[in-house]
Amino acid sequence: MPHISVSAPTRIADLGGWTDTWFAGHGAVCHLAVWPGVDVSVGAERGPAGVQVRLRNFDREWHWSAGTPPQVCPDPLIGACLDEAEVPEGAWVLDVGSQVPPGASMGTSASVCVAVLAALDRLRGTALDPASLARRAHLVETRRLSQQSGIQDQWAAAAGGPALIEMAAYPSARRTSLTLSPETTAALDARLLVVLLARGHDSSAVHRQVVEALQHAGAGDARLEALRRCAHEGAAALVADDLDTYGAVLTRNTGIQAQLHASLVSAEAHVVIEAVCGPDAIGWKVNGAGGAGGSITVLAASAESRARLVAALGSRCPWATHLDVRLARTGVTA
């Protein structure tokens, strides 16, 4: 019986985030796609027609049947993906899991969506097309579920890499893969540290306030312009093998996020920043849109500095944990 396994990376260090949205109009994001990501498998099984959905991170299982509205599914995102993917007739089991905990602000929902769509594409014998997957996954969240979503997370999951995503007019995008030297790639793998805050990401109210404010401010708002510059400057620094400048841009971007709304850099995030601030860290970025919970990417000065930062966080922020990541040079893979 057919069985397909697919993995899609997650996303960190998203310089220029918030500018890849409908209310920003145009924007630029420089991000790093990383492993661990999301793992999805789909296979035939004996049972009723439809899909038996198993979500390992939530220890949850439920059955989907064709025509079920996504909004009434226990997990609307999965239901919407299955609607979009046109599941073949028969009985199937879909297994979804990740080493990244829910609510980490690493674009995990987009990675789930891309991976599910890719797995079902492969089940039908369709070749994986990163650009098509990114666009379809974005439509699942914005059109089928009527949710707010920028475009960058879907591109990171589908195409991977350190990349610059330029959005001339929402939601159209052009992706430029950033070619890094072997030395810079190795340095990032050895020196990046993702700090998971004490609780999962949940900042809907704050995000609605930011969206409303930026919608009225317009695409030319000075803070949005500053974020766009961060994306371009960060991309240039990576290509130039200048991690000191890249780290400084990460830190500056976090400061601009706080200008959008003070709560986007949470009290927990400030405690982590205070704990790592010093010669061992050359930059940090609140991942994703920011707000309560989530995670922070820290760029250490060296591999030895990273080890010292982990020890310092264990002492000063015992409620936080860390996640080891490595660059994902490619996107979704089957």
Residues in the chain: 334
User: pLDDT tier at 292 (50, 70, 90 boundaries)?
Assistant: confident
Peptide bond into 171 cis (omega under 30): yes
User: Coil, helix or strand for 95?
Assistant: strand
Give the position of tokens 């430029």: 176
CA–CA distance, 80 with 75 (Å, rounded to integer): 9
User: What CATH number does domain 182-327 carry, 3.40.980.10, 3.30.300.30, 3.40.640.10, 3.30.70.890?
Assistant: 3.30.70.890
What was the pLDDT predicted at 215?
87
Is residue 42 within 8 A of residue 28, CB to CB? The reply is no
CB atoms within 10 A of CB 100: 25
Write down the number of H helices and E strands in the chain. 10, 12
Judged against a pLDDT cut of 90, whether residue 1 lies above it is answered with no
CATH 3.30.230.10 in the chain: give the residue spans: 3-177
CA–CA distance, 297 with 197 (Å, rounded to integer): 11
Judged against a pLDDT cut of 70, whether residue 298 lies above it is answered with yes
Task: Name the token pair of 175.
Answer: 């992706």
Helix (H) or strand (E) run with residue 166 in it: strand 162-169
Taken in order 188, 40, 319, 314, the sign of the CA dihedral is negative
What was the pLDDT predicted at 145?
93
Q: What is the DSSP letter of 73?
A: S
CATH 3.30.70.890 in the chain: give the residue spans: 182-327
Judged against a pLDDT cut of 80, whether residue 322 lies above it is answered with yes
pLDDT digit string (tens) for 213-230? 888 888 899 999 999 999
Helix (H) or strand (E) run with residue 24 in it: none
Q: What is the DSSP letter of 57?
A: G
Is residue 47 within 8 A of residue 91, CB to CB? The reply is yes
CA–CA distance, 158 with 39 (Å, rounded to integer): 13
> Which CATH fold would you assign to the domain 3-177?
Ribosomal Protein S5; domain 2 (3.30.230)
Judged against a pLDDT cut of 90, whether residue 205 lies above it is answered with no
CA–CA distance, 249 with 299 (Å, rounded to integer): 11
Report how far Cα 271 is from the mean position of its chain's Cα atoms. 23
User: Coil, helix or strand for 144?
Assistant: helix
pLDDT digit string (tens) for 17-67? 999 999 999 999 999 999 999 999 999 999 899 999 999 999 999 999 999
Residues with Cβ < 8 Å from 246, sequence gap 6 or more? 234, 237, 238, 283, 299
Phi and psi at residue 229, to the nearest 5°: -65, -40
pLDDT digit string (tens) for 160-172? 999 999 999 999 9
User: pLDDT tier at 204 (50, 70, 90 boundaries)?
Assistant: low
Residues with Cβ < 8 Å from 222, sequence gap 6 or more? none
pLDDT digit string (tens) for 69-118? 999 999 999 999 999 998 999 999 999 999 999 999 999 999 999 999 99
User: Coil, helix or strand for 139?
Assistant: helix
CA–CA distance, 170 with 251 (Å, rounded to integer): 26
